[in-house]
Structure 1
Amino acid sequence: MSKRICILVLIGLPATGKTTFSKWLLTLPQAPFNVIHLCYDDHLEVMAEEKSARFEFKNQRSNILSIIQLLIDELKNTSNDAKLPSHLESLVKSSLNHCNNDFLVICDDNNYYRSMRHKLYQICRQKRCAYAQIHFDCIMQLAIERNNARSTEESVPQEIIQRMAERLEKPDPIKQHWESNTFLLNAENDDYTILRTQVLVFLSKTFENNIQPMTNQMRDHNNGSVQSVVHQLDLLLRKRIGDILQANNMHDAKELQKLANLLCAKRKGILNDVKIKNEKNNSSVSAAEFNEFVELLY
Structure 2
Amino acid sequence: MAMDTQSSKSSKCLVVLSGIPGCGKSTLAKLLYDKLGSLNVEEQSSHLKSSKCLNVIVVSYDELIPENIPLDDKTWKEYREEIGFCIDHLLNKEISLENLTQPPPGVSDALWEKFYAIVRRQITSAESVVIVLDDNMYYTSMRHKYFQIARKYTCGFCQLYLACNIQTALERNVKRSQPITEDVIVAMATKIEPPNRQINSWETNSIVINTESNIESHLPRIMSLVNTAMLNPIQPLEETDPMITAESRQICSSNVIHQSDQILRKIVSHKMSNLKGIAEEKSTLQQLSKKYIDVRKTCLDKIKSGQVSFPVAVDEPNVSCDINSELYQQILRLFEQLLKEIT
TM-score scaled to structure 2, two decimals?
Answer: 0.58
Report the equivalent of 1:209: 232
Give the counterpart of 1:8 among 15, 24, 27: 15
SS in 2 for 1:288: coil
* Higher mean C-alpha displacement, 20-29 vs 140-149: 20-29
Identity across aligned pairs (percent)? 27
Is 2:24 the counterpart of 1:17? yes
Q: Give the Cα separation in 2 of the matches to 1:223 and 1:123.
A: 22
CA displacement at 1:3 relative to structure 2: 6.1
- SS of 1:202's partner is helix
Match of 2:55 in 1: 34
1:184 aligns with 2:208: yes
- CA RMSD, aligned part only? 3.4
8 Å CA contact 2:10–2:156 kept in 1: the answer is: no
1:90 equivalent in alignment to 2:111: no
Deviation at 1:24, TM superposition (A): 1.3
Amino acid at match of 1:156: I
Q: CA deviation at 1:222?
A: 7.9
Q: Given that residues 37 and 93 in structure 1 are in contact (C-alpha distance below 8 angstroms), is that contact kept between their aligned partners in structure 2?
A: no
Shift of 1:90: 0.4
CA distance change for structure 1 residues 20 and 93 in 2, over 3 Å: closer, same or farther? Answer: farther
Shift of 1:7: 0.6
Deviations for 1:224-277, whole angstroms, at most 9, x for unmatched residues? 359x69xx8xx9xxxxxxxxxxxxxxxxxxxxxxxxxxxxxxxxxxx9xxxxxx
Q: CA deviation at 1:158?
A: 0.3
Q: Is the 8 A contact 1:46 1:53 kept in 2?
A: no
Matched position secondary structure for 1:163:
helix
Distance 1:177 1:156, change over 3 A: same
The alignment partner of 1:7 has SS state of strand
Q: Against the structure 1 CA distance between its residues 146 and 47, is the aligned structure 2 distance closer, same or farther, given a 3 Å change threshold? A: closer
Q: What pairs with 1:49-64 in structure 2 (closer than 5 Å)?
A: 54-64=73-83
Which of 165, 171, 185 is residue 189 of structure 2 equivalent to?
Answer: 165
Are 2:10 and 2:155, in contact at CA under 8 Å, matched by a contact in 1? no
Find the structure with the greater CA-based Rg.
Answer: 2
CA distance, structure 2, for counterparts of residue 130 and residue 110 of structure 1: 20
Q: How does 1:1-298 map to 2 (within 5 A)?
A: 4-28=11-35, 30-31=38-39, 32=41, 33-46=54-67, 54-75=73-94, 85=100, 89-92=116-119, 95-98=122-125, 100-151=126-177, 153=178, 155-192=179-216, 194-216=217-239, 220=249, 224-225=253-254, 286-288=305-307
Query: What do the CA deviations read for 1:8-47 (whole angstroms, capped 9, x no partner)?
Result: 0001011111111111122226323210111011111246
In the alignment, structure 2 segments of 5+ residues that lack a partner are 1-6, 42-53, 103-114, 240-244, 265-300, 309-343
One-letter identity of the residue aligned with 1:12: G
| Matches of 2:132 and 2:163, distance apart in 1 | 18
Tell me, in whole angstroms, the C-alpha distance in 1 between the residues paired with 2:27 and 2:189. Answer: 20
Q: Secondary structure at the match of 1:224?
A: helix
- State the AA in 2 paired with 1:44: I
Distance in structure 2 (CA, Å) of the matches to 1:144 and 1:223: 45
Measure how far apart 1:97 and its partner are.
4.6
CA contact (8 A) 2:28 2:215 kept: no
Number of equivalenced pairs: 229
Q: Does the CA contact (< 8 Å) of 1:35 and 1:94 recur in 2?
A: no
